[in-house]
Homo-oligomer: A and B are copies of this chain.
């Protein structure tokens, strides 16, 4: 069993409504040992693509994304949720991302200066559920004329439609851990085989 699965079983907390809280090691407090496993696994899987950039969205995707970027020795670019004062509308690529937990739509954006047609981009995120954030990043990469080389996810909720939406776009999704189901009542997590 992978280290990340073990940690989910040991330290994950299940809340009503299939909410899995793993903020003691993945997306609030972050364990570097988990990050190192993640960066190695993504590197092994994606190393044959000619990755020129790793991309994520703030905030909880940043830690795994910079570790993966350091392993590939390419820049990491994170999409921002608020437009910095130094960026003008015409200089950004943006996408609307709906949050099913917060029930709000936010716009994420990156500076047009850091993506171009030569780029082959590996998208990294901590969670994949409905795929809204990843789909937003895919749109941004494609708007820039760049290519999505693949999508690396730390924890995929396989019972939600994110992976299916991305695969329909012809994208290769690799998840370190796939979760088949979360049983709030009995506090059980069932993993799905494969990546």
Contact = CB atoms under 8 A, between A and B. Distances in A.
Interface of A: 13, 15, 19, 21, 23-25, 28-33, 35-36, 58-59, 62-63, 66-67, 69-70, 73-78, 80, 84-86, 101-102, 110-111, 113-114
A78 B10 CA distance: 22
Given A35-B70, A111-B23, A85 B101 contact: yes
Given A23-B86, A28-B84, A78 B66 contact: no
Contact of A36 (B19, B70, B77, B84): B70
A63 B76 contact: yes
23 contacts: A13-B86, A23-B86, A28-B111, A29-B75, A29-B114, A30-B69, A30-B77, A31-B75, A32-B66, A32-B69, A32-B74, A32-B75, A32-B76, A35-B70, A36-B70, A58-B58, A58-B62, A59-B59, A59-B78, A62-B63, A63-B76, A66-B67, A67-B67
By CB atoms of chain B within 10 A, which of A31, A36, A74 has the most? A31
Nearest to A31: B75
Contacts of A21: 86
Contact of A86 (B15, B35, B69, B80): B15
**Is chain A's binding surface mostly helix, strand, loop or mixed?**
mixed
Nearest to A34: B75
A32 B13 CA distance: 33
Given A23-B84, A24-B113, A35-B70, A30 B75 contact: yes
Contacts of A32: 66, 69-70, 73-76
By CB atoms of chain B within 10 A, which of A25, A29, A77, A86 has the most? A29
